[in-house]
Amino acid sequence: MRVTCRECGSISTIRKSNKISTDYSELYCGCNDPECGHTFVVSLGFSHSLSPSAKTSTQLAFELLKTLAPNQQQELKAQLSLL
């Protein structure tokens, strides 16, 4: 990830990050131009997904399977073996 200084446009270095939540962090940055020396905080947040994670879908399916009664699980297992 490249962060630029809003004062002079030079490339800046992320010196520290503070994770506020799983979807939001604050990045503490400093301008690499010694004549500028601007230090600042950039907010980084998750916006939205473009496609769902395959891993998440699999985990969701297993969680749903656990809620079925044992006889329903066996029925589903038999149906899946036909595929």
Of residues 11, 7, 15, the one with CA closest to residue 36: 7
pTM: 0.63
CA 83 to chain centre: 34
Average pLDDT over the chain, rounded to an integer: 93
Give the pLDDT score at 54.
76
Across 36-54, average pLDDT: 94
